[in-house]
Amino acid sequence: MATRPEWISVLARASAEEIGSLAGPLPPYRRLRGPETGLTMLRGRAGGAGAVFNLGEATATRCTVALPDGTLGHGWRLGRDRHAAEVAAVMDALLQGAEGEAWHARVVAPLAEAQRAAREQKSRRAAATAVRFSTLGTMR
Amino acid sequence: MYVAVKGGDAAIEAAHRWLAHERRGDTALPEITAAQLREQMALAVDRVMAEGSCLDRDLAALALKQSRGDAVEAAFLLRAYRNTLPRFMAAEPLDTGAMQARRRISATYKDLPGGQVLGPTFDYTHRLLDFALAAEGAALPAPEEDAEGTGPMPQVTGFLAGEGLMREEVPEEGGAPPDLTREPPSFPASRPLRLQALARGDEGFLLGLGYSTQRGYGNAHPFVAELRVGEVEVLVEPPELGFAISIGEVTVTECQMATQFAGSREEPPQFTRGYGLIPGQNERKAMAMALVDRALMARELGEEATAPAQDEEFVLLHSDNVEATGFVEHLKLPHHVDFQSELEKLRSIRRRWEAERIAARKEAAE
């Protein structure tokens, strides 16, 4: 089973429909904060390694929910999809509970696999555009 | 005398209604959607996003639709929207070395770890208009795929830094970097402040300045040590969690430009790097930013600063196209009273000038 930062990262990259279709109906929960959209300032480093600078802001959406047993779940993602942030927060709470492994196998594992496959496909496409230099033989 | 003038409401309303029609264009054609712009005018959307300094491709696409394709107007709309949102927190610095690059090239090393990866580029196309695109629904062959993906791509500037031939970038610790969205720039500006301004600056302005350094206004002989485009993870550490989480990916373009530096009393001759980092895919601007970043280092490196691109006040105070367009375009607003007073002044000066001329002529005749 993935660690909490890992499943949060997987959920942040999945749409509300993707999570919802795998999870099915969600148990009751209470919204504690949001879902709300705001900004996060992205930063870079001079020369890729030096002094930190502000690159520009990105929209982000966050949500906090509580299960009836008091477990808190947090959803954070880039963009403005409030519904997705809320569903992710509920999943985060469920994954911490006794049924966590089952939720993980049903929702997080297939999402993680799909995300990995998409990344690998992109990487294979990039590799197909890698230059293979050939050296011209000299004629004597 | 002050005369209050009111009016024009009906004219403004009518103008905006007509504008909506002009935006829609020929209604016999299907209306374009923001999603179509996001997917098919991706680089225009990226430019709006970078200059609007708000990374959200859907919003940038909507802004572009609303502005009828006017990139500067769209950036303005995005900035205005951004002002309505609260700032949650700053993300950790992006690790561009860990980028999932779809493109990565170096003009300084032929064989480098990770290879020269062209990615989806306009380079090497013949720049001939493709009339096949005028038709719709042409078959699209799937992109080629290798059996293996790309390997790790260490940053090229690291090779030279290892040899001590590249001026080292020292991570400055302590405190948040300056933020010109919160406080106006002060001079001399630090490099982080300059980089922020350049990243959101106008592409055309930076391109012209960068070009000027190549043509001799600033004496640059740069090499593209590395150019990469791809996705980097965004990490934040929300206080409610107490650990860093990855909340998604953003596409960025990074350019490391190596330029020789003759050295000073303290520093040996070596390469220095100009740095460009742009949200979205925009190689032209990343390269221009790297050229201008290097030019602006003149003061720190003890070089003679004589060219416009080396003058940080000139560059930073004129690179923002939303500010620039605001000041230039405000001239369209009614200046009726100002102009009347100038006109009165000019008439009285003119009367005096004519009276003096007649007097002088009379004197000469006598």
User: Is B192 within 8 Å of A129 when comparing Cβ atoms?
Assistant: no
- Tell me what pLDDT residue B139 has: 84
pLDDT of residue B151: 87
Amino acid B2: pLDDT: 53
| Helix A16-23 and helix A82-96, axial crossing angle in degrees, nearest 10 | 40
A22-36, B165-179, B213-227: range with lowest mean pLDDT: B165-179
Strand partners, A137: none
Residues of B in contact with A13 (CB under 8 A): 248-249
Residue range B135-150: mean pLDDT, rounded: 88
Q: What is the pLDDT of residue B137?
A: 79
Q: Which of residues 7-66 of A touch B (CB under 8 A)?
A: 8-9, 12-13, 36-60, 62, 64
Q: Which pairs with CB-CB distance under 8 Å and at least 24 residues apart come from B3-8?
A: B3/B337, B5/B334, B5/B336
* Mean pLDDT for the stretch of residues B193-212: 97
The beta-carbon neighbor of A41 closest among B56, B87, B241 is: B87
Question: What's the confidence (pLDDT) of residue B53?
Answer: 96
**pLDDT of B354 strictly over 70:** yes
- Is the minimum CB–CB distance between A134 and chain B shorter than 8 Å? no
Give chain A positions within 8 Å (CB) of B240: 64, 72, 74
Report d(CA A35, CA A90) in Å as an integer.
Answer: 12
The CA R_g of chain A, rounded to the nearest whole Å, is 21
User: Is A128–B146 a contact, with Cβ atoms under 8 angstroms apart?
Assistant: yes
Task: Reply yes or no: is the peptide bond before residue B86 cis, omega within 30 of 0.
Answer: no
Residue range B207-228: mean pLDDT, rounded: 91
The answer to whether residues B160 and B225 touch, using CB atoms and an 8 Å cutoff, is: yes
pLDDT for the residue numbered B164: 82
Residue A111 lies in a domain: yes
Q: Which residue is closest to A63 within chain B, CA to CA?
A: B240
* Pairing, β A72-78 against β A52-66: antiparallel
pLDDT digits (tens, 9 = 90+) for A44-87: 999 988 999 999 999 999 999 999 999 999 999 999 999 999 99
- Whether the Cβ atoms of residue A85 and residue A75 lie closer than 8 Å to each other: yes
Q: Chain A to chain B, count of Cβ pairs less than 8 Å apart?
A: 236
Nearest chain A residue (CA) to B249: A78
Distance from CA of B353 to the nearest CA of A (A): 56
Does residue A130 fall inside a structural domain? no
| Residue A129 domain-assigned (yes or no) | no
What does residue B227 show for φ and ψ, rounded to 5 degrees? Answer: -135, 125
Vertex B278, ends B224 and B130: CA angle to 5°? 80
Range with the lowest mean pLDDT among A32-36, A110-114, B131-135, B173-177?
Answer: B173-177
Q: Where are the beta strands (DSSP E) in A13-51?
A: 30-45
**Mean local confidence (pLDDT), B51-77:** 97
**Domain membership flag for residue A125:** no
Query: Residue B251: beta bridge partners?
Result: B231
Asked whether the predicted pLDDT for residue B38 surpasses 90, the reply is yes
Task: Please tell me which residue of chain A has the smallest CA distance to B147.
Answer: A124
Nearest-CA residue of chain B relative to A120?
A: B149
Quick check: is A57 in a domain?
yes
Q: What residues make up the domain containing A28? A: 4-116
b/e map B302-332, b = 16+ CB within 10 Å: ebebebbbbbbeebbebbbbbebbeeeeeee
Q: Which residues of A touch B82 (CB under 8 A)?
A: 39, 57
Q: Is residue A18 part of a domain?
A: yes
Look at B166 and B85; give whichever has higher pLDDT: B85
Nearest to A122 by CA among B98, B106, B101: B101
**Cβ–Cβ below 8 Å for A53 and B191:** yes
Q: A122 vs chain B: nearest CA distance in angstroms?
A: 7
Q: Which residues of chain B does A51 touch, with a Cβ-Cβ cutoff of 8 Å?
A: 169-172, 177, 190-192
The backbone region for B307, taken as left when phi is positive above 0, alpha when psi lies in -120 to 50, beta otherwise, is: beta
Answer whether residue A140 shows pLDDT above 60: no
- Give A137's pLDDT tier (boundaries 50, 70, 90): low
pLDDT in tens, B284-306: 999 999 999 999 999 888 888 89
High-pLDDT (> 70) share of chain B, %: 98
Structure tokens, B214: 């190549």
Q: What is residue B319's predicted lDDT score, i.e. its pLDDT?
A: 95
Mean pLDDT of B108-114: 87
Residues of chain B with Cβ-Cβ distance to A74 below 8 Å are 238, 240-241
Q: Which residues contact B25 (CB under 8 A, 6 or more apart)?
A: none
Closest C-alpha to A52, from B196, B157, B226: B196
Q: What is the mean pLDDT of chain B?
A: 92
Pairwise CA distance, residues A3 & A11, whole Å: 12
pLDDT of B173 strictly over 80: no
Decide if A43 is inside a domain.
Answer: yes
Mean pLDDT of B310-323: 95
Which chain B residue has its CA at the smallest distance from A14's CA? B248
Residue A122 lies in a domain: no
Q: Give the residue carrying structure tokens 């205005």.
A: B80
Query: Across the strands, what pairs with B90?
Result: A41
Residue B307 CA to residue B321 CA, distance in Å, equals 21
* Distance, CA of B159 to CA of B165 (rounded, Å): 9
At B248, is the pLDDT very low, low, confident or very high (cuts 50, 70, 90)?
Answer: very high
Contacts of A96 in chain B (CB under 8 A): none
Q: Is the separation of the CB atoms in B277 and A44 below 8 Å?
A: yes
User: Using the beta-carbon criterion (under 8 Å), do A127 and B240 form an inter-chain contact?
Assistant: no
Tell me which residue in A12, A80, A121 faces B247 most closely, judged by beta carbons.
Answer: A12
Quick check: B3 pLDDT over 70?
Answer: no
- Tell me: ipTM over 0.90: yes
The whole-number pLDDT of residue B155 equals 87
Check pLDDT > 80 for residue B113. Answer: yes
- Cβ of A124 within 8 Å of Cβ of B146? The answer is yes
What's the rounded mean pLDDT across residues B101-121? 91
pLDDT over 70 percentage in chain A: 96
- Chain A residue at shortest CA distance from B242: A5
Is residue B219's pLDDT more than 80?
no
Q: Which two tokens stand for residue B126?
A: 């013949």
| pLDDT tier for residue B40 given thresholds of 50, 70 and 90 | very high
Q: Judge: B150–A126 Cβ closer than 8 Å, yes or no.
A: yes
* Chain B residues near residue A47 by CB distance under 8 angstroms: 157, 169, 256, 273, 275
What's residue A135's pLDDT?
64
Number of folded domains that form chain A = 1
